[in-house]
Homo-oligomer: A and B are copies of this chain.
Amino acid sequence: MHTELPKILEDVVNAFTRLPGIGRRTALRMALAQLKKSREETRLMAQALLTLAEQVKFCRICRNISDHEICSICSHPKRDRTLICIVEDIRDIIAIENTGQYNGLYHVLGGIISPVEGISPSHLNIESLLQRLQDNEATEIIMALNATMEGDTTVFYLYRKLQAFNIKISTIARGVSVGSELENADETTLGRSIINRLPYENVFKK
């Protein structure tokens, strides 16, 4: 059985339910919380969403979300233009930027190859990457995709596509997490970390 909500509330609950990870119960809690706030605050949320729908831009070079035609990373004079890091989406850019260890450029694929979800290479920003490499200072492409089967498939696909270019291709290191105990690492990760062992000095390099 399902009790009917007033339509005004139902519309908001429905909208929230379509967000990832939000069930009906949470959506209702969120809608009621929003109701307890001032009208002004709810208006601001609505306005932010409208602006997002109508004014968002994607960087012409790397497909990062941007306020302008070229994003703040691509247009930054101090970034290293010889490095391009391939990521799935903007969240990965944020994660890598937060490490403070990378000063190159990015290229946002907008997804990874996933036959299960029906995402094929043609859905991704791969053509624009190949275009971009035509006349470009890049000397190395770093693959920073999830360490999953889909991620590996995408890396392999890109690896073959990029053979045509005279460019170095690397992937971010996989191994035992910093701070974790060996007995807790899974066998595959531990096995790979032995095969891909590093010179002692490299590990503690800052």
Contact = CB atoms under 8 A, between A and B. Distances in A.
Contacts of A46: 45-47, 49-50, 53
Nearest to A89: B32
Q: How many copies does the complex hold?
A: 2
Contacts of A94: 3, 5, 28
B8 A45 contact: no
Contacts of A50: 42-43, 46
Interface of A: 1-9, 11-12, 14-16, 18-22, 26, 28-35, 37, 39, 41-56, 65-67, 71-72, 89-91, 93-94, 97-98, 100
Given A42-B53, A46-B49, 6 more contacts: A3-B93, A8-B56, A11-B44, A11-B52, A14-B48, A32-B90
B33 A19 contact: yes
Given A19-B34, A35-B52, A48-B14, A28 B100 contact: no
The 4 closest A-B pairs by CB, nearest first: A42-B53, A15-B45, A11-B48, A3-B97
Residues of A contacting B: mostly: helix
A94 B93 CA distance: 42
A169 to B, nearest CB: 26
